[in-house]
Structure 1
Amino acid sequence: MAKHGKELALACAKAAAEIQAEDIRVFDLRGLSSLTDFMVVCSGGSMPHLRAILRDVRGHVDDWTGAKPANAEGRVDSRWVVLDYIDVMVHVMHEELREFYSLETLWGDAKEIEVPEA
């Protein structure tokens, strides 16, 4: 059974943590964004790491919840990929791009959800 919202966002964060994604943060955008309810942001330091994060988030989230991304935007070689689960958007970014775009600042009004330790 596919999960939605907060449970799905936390499953995405847990999958990213298991492959050692860096600085994983989850934001509740309900009431702030018409695009999605939750946003997960995480980083990797190399192309192979970014590929592994994407592979494991897709695979583990599907195994754990039955959810598959409705869409994926970007490519690993662009160093920023978004997995769109409708209720949850997962931004997998190279650490340099993440620092440059600072999505956390853009959504500064969003409530941050604590991510349990993996």
Structure 2
Amino acid sequence: MTKKHVNADDLIAIILKAIDDVKGVNIEILDLREIENTVCDYFIVCTGTSNTHVNAISAIIQKQVGKLAKEKAWHVEGEGNAEWVLLDYINVVVHVFQKHIREYYDIENLWGDAKITSIPSTN
């Protein structure tokens, strides 16, 4: 962890641009702030088309957040099999899924009370 803390809006903007840069798809932001007992304020969920794509999305997010926000993920999980990579930035948690894994876990329905914003891809 670094001492400089970027605000959530700036962090989200960096993450969304990074995902878009490597053509991540079905990007959604789940705003969890109105829900009690949540682990963070936001989930960002997106889909990669293969193990390689999931790892590329994860890598570009970590690189861009490190470079532009001077922040490092507090915890990273799942890079080994690259079906579901979780990047924990404390108040923002990023989930990068392969399509079949995303459908199986269906985080959007699990957190049905969250305000969900779909982000259109520019690619």
Give the CA deviation at 1:102.
0.8
Given the alignment of the two structures, is residue 87 of structure 1 paired with residue 62 of structure 2, yes or no? no
Partner SS state of residue 6, structure 2: coil
Tell me the C-alpha RMSD between the 2 structures: 1.8
Normalising by structure 2, report the TM-score.
0.85
In terms of Rg, which structure is larger?
Answer: 2
Please point out which of 31, 34, 39 is paired with 1:31. Answer: 34
* 4+ residue segments displaced more than 3 Å: 113-118
Percent identical: 34
- Greater mean deviation of Cα atoms: 10-19 or 94-103: 10-19
Select between 67-76 and 47-56 the one with higher mean Cα deviation: 67-76
Within the candidate set 3, 7, 10, 2:6 is matched to 3
Contact 2:27 2:118 in 1 (8 A): no
Higher helix share: 1
Partner of residue 51, structure 1: 55
Q: Relative to structure 1, is the Cα distance of residues 75 and 93 closer, same or farther in structure 2, using a 3 angstrom cutoff?
A: same
The number of residue pairs the alignment matches comes to: 118
> Gaps (5+ residues) in structure 1?
none
Give me the TM-score of the superposition, normalised by structure 1.
Answer: 0.88
1:106: which partner in 2?
110
Query: Is the CA contact 2:26–2:118 (under 8 Å) kept in the aligned structure 1?
Result: no
Q: For the Cα contact (< 8 Å) 1:13–1:25, is it kept in 2?
A: no
Structure 2: how far apart are the matches of 1:116 and 1:14? 11
Distance in 2, Cα, partners of 1:115 & 1:63: 23
* Aligned AA (2:77): E
Query: Structure 2: 5+ residue runs without aligned partners?
Result: none
